[in-house]
Amino acid sequence: MLFYQSIIGLNSNMLMHAKCGHVEEKLYADAHHGLCRKCQSNFAYLLDLEQNYGEDAVIQYWYARLLLYSSTSAEIDNLNCFLDHLINFYQQNYVKYPSKRQYIRKMLFMLHSLQHPVNFETLR
């Protein structure tokens, strides 16, 4: 019996790479759609923000995030990872919720523009 419990204990604490590329415990990642704790926390915050304050609050959050954007490489990596998750989420919801397509298009446009900002010097 003790041997069986130790095997279960090892498997429950097994580390793996989550969808986002971060290392996380396998049980946690499996329970949260393959996301690590940090990405899941960020994602849950945005869903909560949208539920409590509406779609415009999420858009305002992203504009504020743009203004406060830091250029450290660690923060850029975390932001890019989070943006990938959000883009996937909104692309799936675009099909599921036809009534929210206008809002979802705005979010996708903004998220893609965060990932690939326009260089105005090249437009001249």
**Domain ranges (residues) in the chain:** 36-123
pTM: 0.58
Whether the predicted pLDDT of 85 surpasses 70: yes
- Long-range CB pairs of 102-107 (<8 Å, 24+ gap) are 103/55, 106/59, 107/58, 107/59, 107/62
Distance CA 34, CA 48 (A): 20
pLDDT band at 52 (very low <50, low <70, confident <90, very high): very high
Mean pLDDT of 117-122: 73
